[in-house]
Amino acid sequence: MSYQCLIVRTKAEWDAYVKRSYNYEVYHTWYYHSLNMEGEPVLFIYEEESLFIAFPLIKRNIEESSQYDMTSVYGYAGPISNIDFVDIPPSTIECFKQEFSNFLKVEQCVCAFTRLYPFLNQQCLLENIGGVFPNGSTIYMDLSLSIEDQRSRYDKRLKRQIKKLRESGYTIKKAVSSHEIAEFTEMYHKNMDRLGANKSYYFDEKYFAGLLNENEFKNELVLIYDGNEMICGALILISENVVRNHLSATSEKYLKESPSKLLTDEISLIGRKLGKKIFHLGGGVGGKEDSLFKFKSHFSDLRINDRIWCYVNDQESYNELIHKKGLELNEQSTFFPAYRQTKK
């Protein structure tokens, strides 16, 4: 069997593979990876005559080490291909495994991690390369249903609240200025402060502006105003078949009114107008069925499994890094890679 492997770091070549894929997301593009500040965007390509597998990753330095590891961008990434992963033969998967392992050796990477995209069958490729692990479930709406059918499935109390919010005289609009992006970013940061969020969630104004780059994406920043006051907003990512609320925020002054409920309903309307098939609401923080998950579950009872993938390519170095950090290898812990967890 004839095949070749490539390491792609340039935008044009990277996006050429993405656009040839069977299914892909904003999360897979070079530009989205370029917004990540953790490390260097790298695209591993395995290619046969009529088939390719492209695996986008971020190469990170390991503190106080000459080695590296690979991780995924914030969101749902993982490998993509020009065919459904279900249809990739075992012999190809075995060759991919060997070449991916060689790639990590050449790049001096100890291990790799990615959160998988739930609407692709990526587990068929990765389940025997390291391990694919459950990460709770994630919620979505079927936009092929009429809006009436969709709303009939809402929690009864939620349906009344949305009706009341629509009658409140709020204005819903798409952001058109850099000032609006800056104001939304400030509101988002205040939300993160209130929630005591990890610093990794503090995306800056440049990040939001980058996702709204019209030369790269069709994404939108949807805002709700009470008169001239911005009270709620969401940056929605728009892919070929899917629309999703990527990051959102509500003014503390309006938390009791919960305009985010109106905003969620509105995003489903936007998705329909754009001809999308799915509105992906996502899950809870860290795959947990927390208050965020419960909020989303009031809109839809449709669930799909969320998964993560973890692979150690150099077990000896991995164990040494854990030992060097003064940590014990906890077989019960789901934190990966273990040497990056904070010692308690």
Indicate whether 284 pLDDT > 60.
yes
Q: How far apart are CA 47 and CA 21, in angstroms?
A: 12
pLDDT grade for 331, boundaries at 50, 70 and 90? low
Cis amide prior to 56 (ω within 30 degrees)? no
Give mean pLDDT, residues 205-229: 97
Indicate whether 326 pLDDT > 90.
no
pLDDT digits (tens, 9 = 90+) for 23-45: 999 999 999 999 999 999 999 99
pLDDT of residue 149: 95
> Could you give the domains of the chain?
4-129 (3.40.630), 139-305 (3.40.630.30)
| pLDDT higher at 327 or 137 | 137
Per cent of the chain over pLDDT 70 is 97
pLDDT of residue 174: 97
Indicate whether 228 pLDDT > 70.
yes
pLDDT of residue 302: 96
Can you tell me which residue has the tokens 């500040």? 37
Q: Residue 11 in contact with residue 31, Cβ under 8 Å?
A: yes
Indicate whether 150 pLDDT > 80.
yes
pLDDT digits (tens, 9 = 90+) for 55-101: 999 999 999 899 999 999 999 999 999 999 999 999 999 999 999 99
pLDDT of residue 160: 95
Give mean pLDDT, residues 125-136: 94
Q: How far apart are CA 270 and CA 236, in angstroms?
A: 10
pLDDT of residue 43: 98
pLDDT of residue 330: 61
Q: Residue 203 in contact with residue 209, Cβ under 8 Å?
A: no
- One-letter amino acid identity for 143? L
Count of beta carbons in the 10 Å neighbourhood of residue 73: 22
Q: How far apart are CA 260 and CA 292, in angstroms?
A: 12
Give mean pLDDT, residues 128-157: 94
Radius of gyration from C-alpha coordinates of the chain: 21
pLDDT grade for 328, boundaries at 50, 70 and 90? low
Tokens of 122: 């990526």
Give mean pLDDT, residues 210-224: 96
Q: How far apart are CA 219 and CA 32, in angstroms?
A: 12
| pLDDT higher at 10 or 3 | 10
Looking at every residue in the chain, the average pLDDT score rounds to 94
pLDDT of residue 138: 95
pLDDT of residue 17: 98
pLDDT of residue 1: 67
pLDDT grade for 217, boundaries at 50, 70 and 90? very high
pLDDT of residue 341: 84
pLDDT grade for 329, boundaries at 50, 70 and 90? low
Per cent of the chain over pLDDT 90 is 88
Burial, 257: exposed, middle or buried (Cβ in 10 Å; 0-12, 13-18, 19+)?
A: buried
pLDDT of residue 342: 73
Indicate whether 344 pLDDT > 70.
no
- One-letter amino acid identity for 182? A
pLDDT of residue 325: 82
256: Cβ contacts below 8 Å, ≥ 6 apart: none
Note the Cα 152 to chain centre separation in Å.
29
Indicate whether 338 pLDDT > 80.
yes
CA-wise closest residue to 111 among 342, 340, 344: 340
Give mean pLDDT, residues 280-286: 88
Note the Cα 97 to chain centre separation in Å.
24
Give mean pLDDT, residues 149-168: 94
**SS3 letters across the chain:** CCCEEEEECCHHHHHHHHHCCCCCCHHHCHHHHHCCCCCEEEEEEEECCCCEEEEEEEEEECCCCCCEEEECCCCCECCEECCCHHHCCHHHHHHHHHHHHHHHHHCCEEEEEEEECCCCCCHHHHCCCCEEEEEEEEEEEECCCCHHHHHHCCCHHHHHHHHHHHCCCCEEEECCCHHHHHHHHHHHHHHHHHHCCCHHHCCCHHHHHHHCCCCCCCCEEEEEEECCEEEEEEEEEECCCEEEEEEEEECHHHCCCCHHHHHHHHHHHHHHHCCCCEEEEECCHHHCCCHHHHHHHCCCCEEEEEEEEEEECCHHHHHHHHHHCCCCCCCCCCCCCHHHCCCC
